Chain A
Amino acid sequence: MSLPALSADQCLKCNICTAACPVAAVTDLFPGPKAVGPQAQRFRHPRLPLPDHSVAWCSGCGTCTRVCPHGVAVAEINIQAKARLVDERRAPLRDHLISRTDLLGSLATPLAPLANFALRLAPVRWAMEATLGISRHAPMPAFVGRTFRRRVQDRCMDRPPDPNRRTGQLVAFFHGCGTNYYEPELGEVAIAILELLGCQVIVPPQVCCGLPLQSNGLFGAARSHARANIASLLPFAREGIPIVGTSTSCTLSLKHDYRAILGLSGDEVDTVAENAFDFFEFLTTHLREPLERLALAPVQARALYHAPCQLKAHGIGAPALQVLRRVPQLELAFSESECCGVAGTYGMKREKYEVARRVGESLFRQVNMVKADFVISDSETCRWWIAGHTKLPVRHPAQVLGRALGLA
């Protein structure tokens, strides 16, 4: 029995998770995290078929674990149960496809203009929906012709420099697939900010964090991605070089999911986890003084900040807010929604799209109501999803800080 499953015994049935669950709030197809988690877990025999399939509606946002006052790993139980469902029923081709973001990226990058053009054509999206089950309504990001790694290969090393060539605090940057294939400018501004604060940035070799595979229940493939990343990041972690990422879901995988969901254990995975940091977590804990000395130019705008679920699951609050609040003339509103709905690849699926959209509706409404000029959110899939539904630009907080520093 896995560790999360054991925590089911701590459940008092208080329903705090059910009240917070963004999916149960919009559909009665999902009985709620308590019902499919600690409750249903008692009926999941290790060797018998699963008696109930409603856990498939869980989006994996992790809200339930975060709000549980008794330490029940509700989301982890449910993601593991979803993986068992996949083992029993086999995942559709679509799930194998959309969960291999690095494969898709490397195939599409050389053909970026063509791929982007095709993805904008209604008939193509109709065909993708009919044949694969990828919702034709789901917003899709555009590929770039030149990956982030390519763009920074001359600027940043991919291994620790010799001790006599170190010029400041070393940082290993984990860019993830979002930055590499879709938003290289985010990675560039993050590096520029780190350099401005006196860091020397290294971009280690890395593969997709494996989260899309994990959320689609493909644990075997997710674990091999995890092992590859641990092997490549371990030399940095062992030296105490912080591994910093702008993608909150990638850094959450390194910190938590490899251990708590994929079940990897041992000194190596712990060392990587303990040295992984969200970008703003790192800034506000390790670079506090130089950060406070920075002169920030005004950003005259009204913005709504939405903390992604995958950031909230870090258990560090929303550290970007400490910095955003200091930007002169930036008027901030705060999202009142638990989740934007997309939950990685969940909202892309034909059968899930409508549920995901309804989860996000209150956020989209609030964005409209506060008359935001743009939205700020730390996670890429949230950004694409919110942008697609509100037609507003959605920025990573590092991009906003970059603007206040004249870097972007």
Chain B
Amino acid sequence: MDDLVIVGSGLTGLFAASLAARRGARVTVISQGRGGLELSHGCIDILGDTPLSQGMHHLPAAHPYSLVGRETLEAALDALKQIAAADGLEYQGNTESVLRLPTALGSLHATTLAPRSMASGDAARAEPCSLAGLESFRDFHASLAAIRLQARGIPLGPCLELPLLHAPRRRDAYATDLARLFDDERLRAELARAWKPRLKGVLRLGLPAVLGLEHPQQAWLDLEERLGVPLFEIPTLPPSIPGLRLERVLRKSALAAGCSLLEGAQAIGRVDGSTKGRRVSGVVALSAGGPRVYGARAVLLASGGFLHGGLVARQDGLVRESVFDLPVHSELGRDVWVAETPFEPQPYSMLGLRVDAQMRPLDVRGEPVFENLYAAGGILAGPDRSREGSRQGIDLATAYRAVEMALA
């Protein structure tokens, strides 16, 4: 019997797993596949471009931040920083300042914590920067980003196109291909020699985020030193290297702390028969041979929203949670789930589980459905996270609170 079974291995699930296992709990993570971290920019957004102390008061009482409180959010951020730094991936920033980082499409991404290799791209820095594309890499075009950044009043030097030795020739290069090249110290030295003459007069250089995967910060620092120019990374299309780095760090930390990670197993329901009234006794997951039972003292749903399979919408407009068939409160008719254009707030993205301050899903009367069932992250009802710029902050803060409660 485990202390905690977690469903889902995105940022919420892996962070919760690492936290709980580091506190000595017996933890199993069940996930159908890998989570969305590999599709993310690798930064931690807290409240868009609003410092927390200004924005926190204006949040509704049901907002996940209001439920857990600022202290929990700060503790979660500290824990994440600590876990990542222990594996050589440093995060910079704090909840009172906002980083504005250039994106591959030339907008500015307002975020709170960023890996060091990205934080140095902050638009508030004084030194003007240049952007460079890498030869044969189709997922990042320096001039496209530069035109739009300049239109926003960001001063930029001329764009560069830098050669890549030994890049794949027989097919398109993925970001992962290039990141693995940069893991090789000899190759970095070779690239630095080829690039250095082209960087005269460049004070700061933005590159696509492919500077190393195995020992990310090491590759970035080493290249920076060899070139004598401060470098920063800009995330590209998936597979996103900064997201992948964070995922690997969290998975490694969970595994090292004794956590069991079950990949390719779909959680399909609760363990029946031995449920004592209002408690769940575990999760049933599908394996290659058939259903298997994972008994647990507490269960945490970190299975995400619609895109990730945590929520399921039926033809008749009914929305349910996918593992425990929990009710999802929705006053909205199906016809108004989606806004007129993709760039408006999307009503469907606010659907999800309502929880109490302990992160336990509530039934229609407002009572916890089960005493020992918790939910965190994208599965929770609440704000339009993309618009609010709070996705990762909500994931971390609610995961932190859920773990505290589940192990209490």
Interface residues of A (CB under 8 A from B): 14-16, 18-20, 24-25, 28-29, 31-32, 35, 65-71, 251-252, 254-256, 273-274, 276-277, 285, 312-318, 321-322, 325, 334, 336, 362
Contact = CB atoms under 8 A, between A and B. Distances in A.
B342 to A, nearest CB: 16
Contacts of A362: 214
A25 B287 contact: no
Contacts of A69: 31-36, 308-309
B238 A14 contact: yes
A255 B289 CA distance: 5
Interface residues of B, number: 44
6 contacts: A68-B33, A255-B288, A256-B288, A314-B288, A315-B266, A315-B288
Contacts of B263: 66-67, 312, 315, 317
B289 A273 contact: yes
Contacts of B308: 69
A316 B258 CA distance: 16
B290 A317 contact: no
B264 to A, nearest CB: 4
A252 B289 CA distance: 8
A71 B32 contact: yes
A243 B399 CA distance: 39
Contacts of B177: 24-25, 28
B238 A15 contact: yes
A70 B33 contact: yes
Contacts of A325: 258
Contact of A256 (B33, B262, B289): B289
B373 interface: no
Contact of B39 (A14, A273, A334, A336): A14
Contacts, number: 117
A322 B260 contact: yes
Nearest to B36: A69
Interface string B260-296: 1111111000000000000000000111111011000
The 10 closest A-B pairs by CB, nearest first: A28-B168, A69-B33, A19-B239, A66-B264, A255-B289, A315-B265, A315-B287, A256-B288, A317-B262, A255-B288
Nearest to B35: A69
Nearest to B172: A31
Contacts of A29: 170
A66 B260 CA distance: 15
Contacts of A334: 252, 255-256
Given A25-B180, A69-B34, A69-B309, A273 B238 contact: no
Contacts of B369: none
